[in-house]
Every structure is written in C-alpha cells, then in structure tokens.
C-alpha cells in the first residue's frame, strides 16, 4: 500500500502569493487520494512585510508564520496528516529552498534565518538533522545552487503558471548523484491541487518519519502532464 503526500503547498494566511486559504485548500484536495500535506508556506521578506510585521521581533514573525500551519491542521481535521515545513528565501538572493523536518523550536532558536544565506543556513539545518531541497531550480530567475550544500532538488514542480523545466532538474540531480529528489504541486490555488507529491511505502505521521523515509528513498514521485496557463 502507498500513501500520497503533498510536499509543496502554500495558503494565503501566510504566503502572500497564494490565493486559497487553508479551508479552501482542504476542499480542493478532497477526492484526490492524498494522505497528508506538508505545509511549506513562504519564509520570505514579503510574508512579513505585507502583514505589517517588518519591524517586529523574530518571535512575532514566527507566530505569524506558524499560524498558517495551525490553520491548515485545523481545517484538515482527521482527513489528512499535516506536517510543518517551509520554503525559505534569503535576503538579496533569488532562490527558494524547501526545508523538511523543521520544528517550532528550530524556527525560534537561531534568530533571523533569512539573513543567513544558503550556505550558512544549510550548515545549521544539517546540524539539526533537517533536509534542504532547492525548489524548482531551473525556473526562470533561479540560480542552480551548489549541489554540495544541498540534500537534493525538487525535480517535479506542478505549478501550471511557471515553467519549472522539470526535465532539466531531474537530469541535474542524476548528474550529481542526488538520491533525494522531490515532487510537489506548489499549491497556491484550485488549479494546482493534486499536480504533484510523493508516494511513500508507509504512513507518515511525524517529521522524524518523513526525514527517515526520504533518506531511505522509500518513495516514488507523482508527476502529471501540466497545461501551462501562463507562458514565460
């Protein structure tokens, strides 16, 4: 038996580029065969600026960031397992990085994570047992990150409004022998629901189990044919 998990999803309560709120997201995923969702709301400057939180403490920013995860858990009820992740963007840096295994303690304990830059952050993440995956590395305006500091790459991104050059990402990951590769819908609105994800061989109930299965490679990717709605 396999269990399908969404690995890349945003809701409007935190991610300013999203359209759907947590309750709407759960509605859109019903009937699509998913067991769980990893909430990967954006940890970026826009998240806090548009919420009027640019000048507040880091703890207050984390309170806001975690709100999206908590609302998604509430909306999901017993329909889906909801795990905490994030998609981080560093100041003055173009790339986005999916981070799996994070906890509230990690988020609060190290100051402004967005000020670290990818290399320093990756070192901290690895010290804490987390996985750092570059999201859509071949999308326009991205810079393919040094493979040596990453755990892997998102090789399938199902967002139909961005051409993420998934084939190039898959080829790059194979070239650098990255065994941890991921797929996600990059959910922001209704048309994104169910476009990507990962099939695991066991039920994942905690972030510790998620990290273990990703490291073991006990999964396969969900991919779909994408009809792009916005040319690039």
Domain-embedded: residue 231? no
The string of pLDDT tens digits covering residues 20-78 is: 999 999 999 999 999 999 999 999 999 999 999 999 999 999 999 999 999 999 999 99
Domain-embedded: residue 200? yes
Q: Tell me how far apart the alpha carbons of residues 21 and 43 are, in angstroms, rounded to a whole number.
A: 17
- At residue 9, the 3 state secondary structure works out as strand
Domain-embedded: residue 150? yes
Taking Cα atoms as reference points, which of 163, 220, 171 lies closest to residue 196? 220
On average, the pLDDT of the chain sits at: 97
Domain-embedded: residue 227? no
Angle, helices 58-76 vs 22-29, to 10°: value is 40
Which pLDDT band holds residue 227 (cuts at 50, 70, 90)? confident
Per-residue pLDDT at 229 exceeds 80? yes
Domain range holding 34?
Answer: 3-222
Q: Are 67 and 229 in contact (CB under 8 A)?
A: no
The string of pLDDT tens digits covering residues 118-140 is: 999 999 999 999 999 999 999 99
Residues 6 or more apart in contact with residue 67 via CB below 8 angstroms: 13, 14
Q: What pairs with residue 230 in β-bridges?
A: none
């790339």: which residue's tokens? 95
Q: How many domains does the chain have?
A: 1
Task: Give the residue-averaged pLDDT of 163-175.
Answer: 97
Which pLDDT score, from 0 to 100, does residue 6 have? 99
Q: What's the CATH code of the domain at 135?
A: 3.20.20.140
Q: Within 10 A of 223 (CB to CB), how many other CB atoms are there? A: 16
Domain-embedded: residue 124? yes
Domain-embedded: residue 66? yes
Q: What pairs with residue 25 in β-bridges?
A: none
Domain-embedded: residue 229? no
The alpha carbon dihedral of 97, 229, 4, 13 has a sign of positive
Domain-embedded: residue 144? yes
């Amino acid at each position: 038996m396999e269990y399908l998990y969404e690995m890349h999803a945003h809701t409007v309560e935190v991610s300013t580029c999203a359209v759907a709120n947590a309750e709407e997201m759960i509605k859109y995923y019903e009937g699509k065969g998913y067991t769980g969702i990893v909430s990967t709301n954006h940890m970026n400057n826009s998240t806090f600026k548009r919420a009027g939180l640019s000048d507040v403490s880091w703890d207050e920013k984390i309170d806001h960031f975690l709100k999206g995860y908590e609302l998604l858990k509430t909306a999901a009820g017993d329909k889906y397992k909801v795990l905490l992740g994030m998609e981080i963007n560093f100041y003055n840096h173009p790339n986005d990085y999916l981070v799996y295994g994070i906890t509230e303690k990690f988020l609060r304990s190290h100051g402004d994570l967005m000020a670290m830059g990818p290399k320093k952050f990756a070192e901290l993440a690895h010290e804490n047992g987390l996985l750092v995956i570059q999201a859509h590395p071949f999308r326009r305006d991205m810079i393919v990150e040094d493979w040596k500091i990453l755990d892997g790459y998102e090789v399938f991104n199902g967002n139909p409004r961005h051409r993420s050059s998934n084939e190039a990402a898959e080829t790059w990951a194979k070239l650098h022998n990255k065994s941890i590769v991921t797929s996600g819908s990059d959910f922001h609105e209704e048309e994104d629901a169910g476009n990507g994800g990962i099939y695991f061989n066991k039920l994942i109930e905690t972030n510790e189990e998620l990290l273990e299965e990703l490291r073991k490679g006990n999964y396969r990717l969900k991919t779909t044919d994408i009809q792009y709605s916005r040319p690039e």
